[in-house]
Chain A
Amino acid sequence: MSSHLYSDAIKQLARAQREQTPLTQIDVKTTLDNPLCGDRITTHIKLKEGRISHIYQHVQGCLLCNASANILTRLAIGRNQTQFEQGSRHLAEFLNSSSKYLPKPWQEFSMFEPARYHKNRHTCIELPLQAILQSLE
């Protein structure tokens, strides 16, 4: 089960995240820590009419956190707080197995299915999304 957690797809996303470049102009900057392990994510956001127009996330964390941030870098554009609140709920339900599938547009997170068996890693995956939510509040 654990071996699938470190799939090629997740590793590729994590590598891609590390190659992201910071934004030159931002509206909101938020730093969020994972109290369990000391992971830290800093989110830089530029907004347009309450929706994210540009995003950069600096991850000082594990491979899962980086991969999750990379998915969100693409998903975030054009979305607002309400949509991220829904996404946060869907992801939490998927990880704790109370929901079998993830609805659109969040299906890409289903690659984290093996993490269902590792509760201590859920926060790693959820941290980038929580940081965005905090930025939008």
Chain B
Amino acid sequence: MLKQVTQIALASKAEQVVVVTGHEQHKVQQQLAHLPLEFIHNDEYDSGKASSIGKGIRSLDQSVRGVIIMLGDMPLIETQHLNCLIDRFEALPEDAIVVPYTSEQRGNPLLWGCSHFGALRSLTGEQGGKELLAHFSSKINYVALPSSAIHMDFDTPDSLLSAPHTELIRRQFPLLAQQDQSHALCYLDSSATTPMPQVVLDTMYQFETGSRSNVGRGSHHLARRADQAFDLARQQVASYVGAASKEEIIFTSGTTMGINLLASSLAQEWETGDEIVISKAEHHSNSLPWISLAKRHGFCLKIIPLLAEGRLDLSKLSSIIGPRCRLVAVTHVSNVTGAISDLTTLVKAAHTLGAQVLVDGAQAVAHGPIDVSDLGVDYYVFSGHKCYGPTGIGVIWGKLGALNKLKPFFTGGGMVHSLDLASLSMTIVKGTSRFEAGTPPIAQAVGLGAALQWLSQLPWAFIKQQQGFMCQYLLEYLMLHDQIFLLGPHNNEARQPIISFTHTQHHAHDIVHLLDQHGIATRGGHHCAQPLMQHFDVMASTRVSLGVFNTMTDIKYFINSLQQAITTLEA
């Protein structure tokens, strides 16, 4: 836990990181020995935390303008949180105090300007920095950090792994509260569809009962409210994926529609013999549109092969992506194996030869905010129902320059300035509207915006750590079982919490059916990824996919129920 906290601090913009040790000094130093830290020992740690604060402050260089007092029991604080405090302090005087807050209350850590170092040194006993805030209230500068991480501390690593706030997250999902066949619902099918938290349901209900109207056309007050809600949703989506502006966000009905839309629009600019590259790991929604397109227009489809574990084999990329390649279309995360694709290598290879990169992000968006500029891709496509939003809504993110060059492939209301039947001419509008002909899925877009806003505020460092632990536990169990064959990576590196397996004697449908008797929702079948299943030489597999609400209790219950299901089938 302490290691994580120090690594977060080291990755921040702070110029110096000092660790004040007390209890178990040598053990702590040994654990952190490989990190570029400065250690100060406080012999009087028994007297309370004030002595540790004083020791730390005294150790600082004279030139230090401010200090963040970070507590070792807050491992969910993220580097970006610290950078937000530092950025805010840059333009402030030396007597400023920067305090993070959420809409509910003040949190930790605080950044103290050097004018307060004397006061901090004079604290006694169990006094902390917060005791001084009342004296210097006029110096407080608040920074909004919309993350519950700033309120969470943990006394032991065990308390971190069974943190009560996972239960708080879970309670936000009405779907998960139900009892199914005398068992509490254990939902392990988030890769197919995620449940919706109450805030999304409320937002959609409020929209439908208070603002339902069409967008972009009406001038009455409901239409104005609907326009505002729709615009806000587009902005919320843009923020979640790190788009440069909301003009880069196109709403669709889902990933499948998004990829088909892009395929048909892009094809208008391509010539016979041009090449499209996909991988063998794609969901049918990112293979069938390109296969159809290639057949219809005479394009050449090239396939990236797979390594034994199902990851993309990029070793022969130079022979696959050639000068006539126009697009590389790959999945970000496999919907069967959970493997994360090496987009950096793919983007470099494609862009070097002038090809664009489209990423199917359907299985990635639910696992934390995306930064499309960091990924360096040209198009990113995903669905709402796989990231805690409603069904019937999806998103295309595209670089503005790339989108502006695309011609729309379907036409209808709201996408032209003028239409003249005599000359059969039309003037198509600029911006996202030209790809959203007809009435868009408005309430669904509003719901998706709320879902992504909600997701962006979750403590991702904690969730990723906990999901990694659960994933590892399940992988280790499955690998120990002689008759179970694991599809995909056998380790926990570069993967999301999606695990598929087959049993040598029992079909996935039978296992999934019997798990359902225990109230467990999983998925069995080919997962619309038949080429990937052929790679593993199987017809169907059982898939377990985790959401932000799952706990170790779910995993242990699943393992126990799987054993019972196998016993039933073998009886």
Interface set of A (CB-CB < 8 Å, partner B): 2-3, 5-6, 8, 11, 36-40, 60-65, 118, 121, 124
CB contact list, B475-508 vs A, under 8 A: 506-508
Beta-carbon contact of B507 and A63 below 8 Å: yes
Contact yes or no, B525 A36, CB < 8 A: yes
Find the B residue at minimum CB distance from A60: B539
Chain B residues, CB < 8 A from A2? 181, 513-514, 516-517
Residue in B181, B510, B530 whose CB lies within 8 Å of A62:
B510
Closest 10 CB pairs of A and B: A38-B526, A62-B507, A37-B525, A62-B509, A38-B540, A38-B539, A63-B510, A60-B539, A62-B510, A2-B517
Instruction: For B514, list chain A residues within 8 Å (CB).
Output: 2, 6
- In the complex, residue of chain A having the shortest beta-carbon distance to the beta carbon of B507: A62
Q: Taking the complex as formed, is B533 at the interface, i.e. its CB lies under 8 A from any CB of chain A? A: yes
Q: Which of A11, A36, A38 contacts B533 (CB 8 A)?
A: A38
Q: Which residues from chain B contact A118 at a C-beta distance below 8 Å?
A: 513
Give, as a whole number of angstroms, the nearest-CB distance from A114 to chain B.
11
Q: Is B461 an interface residue (CB 8 A)?
A: no
Residues of B that sit less than 8 Å from A by CB: 181, 506-510, 513-514, 516-517, 524-526, 530, 533, 539-540, 568-569, 571
- CA distance in complex: A39, B540 (Å): 7
Nearest-CB residue, chain B, relative to A61: B507
| 25 A-B contact pairs sorted by A residue (CB < 8 Å) | A2-B181, A2-B514, A2-B516, A2-B517, A6-B510, A6-B513, A6-B568, A36-B525, A37-B508, A37-B509, A37-B540, A38-B526, A38-B533, A39-B507, A39-B539, A61-B507, A63-B506, A63-B507, A63-B509, A63-B569, A65-B507, A118-B513, A121-B509, A121-B513, A124-B509
Most chain B beta-carbon neighbours within 10 Å: one of A5, A62, A124: A62
Which A residue sits closest to B523, measured CB to CB? A37
Docked Cα-Cα span, A13 to B181, in Å, equals 28
- Judged by DSSP, the binding face of B is helix
| Residues A38 and B517 in contact in the complex (CB < 8 Å), given A11-B569, A62-B509, A63-B510 | no
Partner of A6, one of B181, B524, B525, B569: B569
Q: Tell me the bound Cα distance from A5 to B507 in angstroms.
A: 15
Q: A39-B509, A63-B507 are in contact. Are A3 and B525 (CB under 8 A)?
A: no
Distance, CA A124 to CA B540, complexed state (A): 13
Q: Which residues of B contact A5 (CB under 8 A)?
A: 513
Extra pairs beyond A37-B526, A38-B530, A62-B508 (16, CB < 8 Å):
A2-B516, A6-B510, A6-B568, A8-B571, A36-B525, A39-B509, A40-B539, A60-B539, A61-B507, A62-B507, A62-B510, A63-B507, A63-B509, A64-B510, A65-B507, A121-B509
Cα–Cα, bound, A38→B533 (Å): 9
- B410 CB, nearest partner CB in chain A, Å: 27
Assembly CA distance A3 to B514 (angstroms): 8
Give Cα distance in the complex from A40 to B525, angstroms: 12
How far is it, in angstroms, between the C-alpha of A64 and the C-alpha of B507 when the chains are bound?
A: 10
A4 to B178 alpha-carbon distance, docked (Å):
24
CA distance in complex: A47, B506 (Å): 32
Minimum C-beta distance from A16 to chain B (A):
15
Q: Report the nearest A residue to B514, measured CB to CB.
A: A6
State A60–B530 Cα separation when bound (angstroms): 15
Contacts of B513 on A, CB cut-off 8 Å? Answer: 2, 5-6, 118, 121
Bound CA–CA A124/B181 (angstroms): 23
* Bound CA span A18–B514, Å: 21
Q: Chain B residues near A61 (CB, 8 Å)? A: 507, 509, 539
Closest to A35 in B: B526
CB distance from A36 to the nearest CB of B (A): 7
A11 and B509 within 8 A (CB): no
Complex Cα distance, B525 from A38, in Å, reads 6
Please name all residues of chain A whose beta carbon is closer than 8 Å to the beta carbon of B525 when the two chains form the complex: 36-38
Q: Which of B181, B525, B568 has the most CB of A within 10 A?
A: B525
Contacts of B181 in A (CB 8 A): 2
User: A115 — nearest CB in chain B belongs to which residue?
Assistant: B513
A3 close to B517 (CB less than 8 A): yes
| Residues of the A chain whose Cβ atoms lie less than 8 Å from the Cβ of B507 | 39, 61-63, 65
Q: How far is the CB of A127 from chain B (nearest CB, A)?
A: 11
Q: Within the assembled complex, what's the spacing in Å between the Cα atoms of A40 and B516?
A: 23
A11 touches B517 (CB 8 A): no
B517 touches A37 (CB 8 A): no
Residue of A nearest to B511 (CB): A62
Least distance between B169 CB and chain A CB atoms (Å) = 30
- Given known A2-B516, A36-B525, A37-B525, contact A11–B540 (CB-CB < 8 A): no
